[in-house]
């Protein structure tokens, strides 16, 4: 086992080593713990859920280079790859609210179809408007490297 | 063949579950978290399998299949044990379901990683991204709210609909805070993705959305979440990176805007 590890690390000497997975988990746990202490400080009229605090916290830590990508990348990408599976219990949660669906199901689906199209079209056109302003009013550069 | 195995499995588990259930009723069992975890895995894997053999037919999205199949199995088992679905869900499924659900917390935090990877684009366009998402979201909220009222949706359902621009893990607690039903919110977020998967290409064409690549990315990311990001990536890499930025940023924007909007229209 130890010999194998040495070989694999010798093969890629230039690339920085990813942190051990338990350390990565520890970083996530620490951020989650701190976030769970910060989240209740927000007033009820402006709720900020714990994961949102954590998201912003990790972004700030990455942007200030306190936490490096290699410290969190492996575990983070793993979690994101599982995201659809993690949502299954939220979907099944509906089993407790079947009565609401019986009463309003069809109406909800129609409104959701409208809502989805509205969000797509309105946000796309609003953005096009702001980009147009950047280009023609402030003569800013809007090219992006592929 | 898989479904046959599952049927056999379920028969054995059902018998075991009967004992577990009666124990749960007396508050003596902590062991049946296994059932929730097992059921979640089985229905999701069936979903993945169906998605694969149907070459990615949109209605067979693993998450969607998992949700419908899971509810259906709980409904059947509840009938078999002579309780109603909601009670059975709470006593048999919830202990295990909650364990998987908990992992959405670190998974949501993990979205900071793709956001940071696109930091160059975020830095250059942050003003346009934030302005577009705030203004676009406020306009969308008014239209969605009015459409919902027009169809006579109840206050609770309306409150469940408003935060669905955000990714599900963030939309659910916001829905709860403004008097909505998080279960409906979760279903709507899933439906958003299914609709974008089914109609995305057509909508992009009809509304000429791809005229502005940044707008196309932000729109698809907001409306379709991760599925929208995949669609956007098909249009181009600018659209793709914009969509994954949008999924994260819109969630924060929803968190800032929706509770204020809800008080404004008197939902709470």
ipTM for this prediction: 0.79
Sign of the C-alpha dihedral, residues A22, A24, A25, A31? positive
B174: nearest CA in chain A? A47
Tens digits of residue pLDDT in A42-95: 887 777 888 888 988 999 999 999 999 898 989 998 988 888 888 888 888 888
Tens digits of residue pLDDT in B205-229: 889 888 888 889 999 989 988 778 8
Q: Do residues B64 and B126 share a domain?
A: no
Q: Do residues B85 and B117 share a domain?
A: no
Q: Do residues B49 and B143 share a domain?
A: no
Quick check: A48 contacting B, CB < 8 Å? yes
B119 with A63: CB under 8 angstroms? yes
Q: Give the separation between CA B266 and CA B268, rounded to whole angstroms.
A: 5
Q: Could you give the number of structural domains in chain B?
A: 2
- Has residue B15 got a pLDDT over 80? no
Q: Do residues B118 and B169 share a domain?
A: yes
The pLDDT score that the predictor gives to residue A145 is 53
Contact B86 A121 (CB under 8 A): no
Q: Which of residues 121-140 of A touch B (CB under 8 A)?
A: 121-131, 134
Q: Which of A44, A49, A85 sits opposite B44 (nearest CB)?
A: A85
What number is the average pLDDT over the span B159-164?
91
Quick check: A67 contacting B, CB < 8 Å? no
Looking at beta carbons, which residues of chain B come within 8 Å of A130?
Answer: 128, 131-132, 135
The 3-state secondary structure of chain A, one letter per residue: CHHHHHHHHHHCCCCCCCCCHHHHHHHHHHHHHHHHHHHHHCCCCCCCCHHHHHHHHHHHHHHCCCCCHHHHHHHHHHHHHCHHHHCHHHHHHHHHHHHHHHHHHHHHHHHHHHHHHHHHHHHHHHHHHHHHHHHHCCCCCCCCCC
- Has residue B12 got a pLDDT over 90? no
What number is the average pLDDT over the span B188-208?
85
Quick check: A37 contacting B, CB < 8 Å? no
Residue A74 lies in a domain: yes
Q: Do residues B161 and B227 share a domain?
A: yes
Tens digits of residue pLDDT in B40-82: 999 999 999 998 999 877 778 888 889 889 999 998 988 888 8
Looking at beta carbons, which residues of chain B come within 8 Å of A128?
Answer: 211-212, 214-215
Residue scoring higher pLDDT (B238 or A45): B238
**Residue-wise over B203-241: b if at least 16 C-beta within 10 A, else e?**
bbeebebbebbbbbbbbbbbbbbbbbbbbbbebbebbbb
Grade residue B85 by pLDDT with cuts at 50, 70 and 90.
Answer: confident
From B102, B136, B155, the end of a domain falls on: B102
Q: Do residues A62 and A103 share a domain?
A: no
Q: Do residues A65 and A109 share a domain?
A: no
**CB B60: neighbour CB atoms within 10 A?**
18
Distance from CA of A146 to the nearest CA of B (A): 6
Chains A–B, number of C-beta pairs less than 8 Å apart: 328
Grade residue B138 by pLDDT with cuts at 50, 70 and 90.
Answer: very high
The pLDDT score that the predictor gives to residue B1 is 42
Quick check: A114 contacting B, CB < 8 Å? yes
The pLDDT score that the predictor gives to residue B16 is 53
Q: Do residues B142 and B227 share a domain?
A: yes
Grade residue B177 by pLDDT with cuts at 50, 70 and 90.
Answer: confident
Grade residue A24 by pLDDT with cuts at 50, 70 and 90.
Answer: very high
Q: Which of residues 14-43 of B touch A (CB under 8 A)?
A: 36, 40-41, 43
Q: Which of A45, A107, A128 sits opposite B215 (nearest CB)?
A: A128
Grade residue B19 by pLDDT with cuts at 50, 70 and 90.
Answer: low
Q: Give the separation between CA B45 and CA B91, rounded to whole angstroms.
A: 23
- Has residue A5 got a pLDDT over 80? no
Average per-residue pLDDT in chain A? 82
Contact A126 B136 (CB under 8 A): yes
Q: Give the separation between CA A58 and CA B264, rounded to whole angstroms.
A: 32
Domain residue limits at A26: 17-86
Residue A1 lies in a domain: no
Residue scoring higher pLDDT (B5 or A46): A46
Q: Could you give the number of structural domains in chain A?
A: 2
Quick check: B183 contacting A, CB < 8 Å? yes
Q: Do residues B68 and B112 share a domain?
A: no
Q: Do residues B143 and B92 share a domain?
A: no
Contact B263 A45 (CB under 8 A): yes
Q: Do residues B66 and B166 share a domain?
A: no
Grade residue A144 by pLDDT with cuts at 50, 70 and 90.
Answer: low
**Six-digit token string for B17:** 């579950």
Q: Do residues B187 and B224 share a domain?
A: yes
- Has residue B237 got a pLDDT over 80? no
The pLDDT score that the predictor gives to residue B123 is 84
Q: Do residues A53 and A108 share a domain?
A: no
Which segment of A11-20, B135-144, B154-163, B214-223 scores lowest on mean pLDDT? A11-20
From B47, B77, B102, the end of a domain falls on: B102
Q: Do residues B28 and B156 share a domain?
A: no
Which segment of A32-41, B91-100, B232-241 scores lowest on mean pLDDT? B232-241
Domain residue limits at B31: 2-102
Tens digits of residue pLDDT in A47-61: 788 888 898 899 999
């Amino acid at each position: 086992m130890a010999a194998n590890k040495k070989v694999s690390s010798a093969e890629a000497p230039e690339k920085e080593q990813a942190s051990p997975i338990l350390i990565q988990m520890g970083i996530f746990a620490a951020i989650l713990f701190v976030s769970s202490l910060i989240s209740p400080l927000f007033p009820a009229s402006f709720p900020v859920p714990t994961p949102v605090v954590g998201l912003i916290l990790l972004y700030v830590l990455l942007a200030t280079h306190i936490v490096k990508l290699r410290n969190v990348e492996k575990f983070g990408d793993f979690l994101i790859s599982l995201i659809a599976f993690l949502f299954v219990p939220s979907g099944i949660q509906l089993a407790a609210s079947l009565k609401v669906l019986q009463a309003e199901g069809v109406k909800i689906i129609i409104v959701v179809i409208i809502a989805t199209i509205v969000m797509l079209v309105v946000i796309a056109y609003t953005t096009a408007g702001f980009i147009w302003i950047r280009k023609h009013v402030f003569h800013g550069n809007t090219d992006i490297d592929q | 063949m898989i479904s046959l195995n599952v049927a056999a499995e379920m028969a054995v588990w059902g018998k075991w579950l009967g004992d577990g259930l009666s124990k749960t009723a007396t508050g003596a069992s902590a062991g049946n978290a296994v059932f929730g975890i097992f059921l979640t895995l089985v229905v999701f894997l069936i979903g993945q399998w169906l998605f694969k053999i149907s070459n990615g037919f949109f209605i067979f999205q693993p998450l969607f299949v998992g949700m419908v199949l899971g509810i259906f199995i709980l409904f059947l088992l509840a009938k078999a044990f002579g309780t109603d679905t909601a009670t059975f869900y709470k006593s048999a499924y919830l202990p295990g379901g909650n364990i998987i659900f908990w992992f959405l917390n670190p998974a949501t935090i993990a979205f900071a990683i793709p956001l940071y990877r696109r930091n160059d684009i975020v830095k250059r366009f942050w003003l346009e991204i934030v302005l577009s998402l705030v203004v676009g979201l406020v306009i969308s909220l008014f239209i969605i709210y009015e459409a919902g009222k027009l169809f006579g949706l109840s206050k609770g359902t309306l409150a469940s609909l408003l935060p669905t621009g955000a990714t599900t893990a963030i939309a659910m607690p916001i829905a709860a805070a403004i008097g909505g039903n998080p279960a409906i919110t979760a279903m709507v977020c899933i439906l958003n993705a299914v609709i974008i998967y089914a109609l995305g290409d057509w909508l992009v064409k009809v509304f000429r959305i791809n005229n502005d690549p940044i707008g196309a990315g932000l729109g698809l990311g907001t409306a379709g979440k991760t599925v929208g990001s995949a669609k956007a990536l098909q249009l181009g890499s600018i659209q793709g990176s914009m969509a994954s930025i949008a999924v994260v940023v819109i969630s924060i924007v929803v968190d800032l805007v929706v509770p204020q909007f809800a008080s404004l229209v008197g939902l709470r």
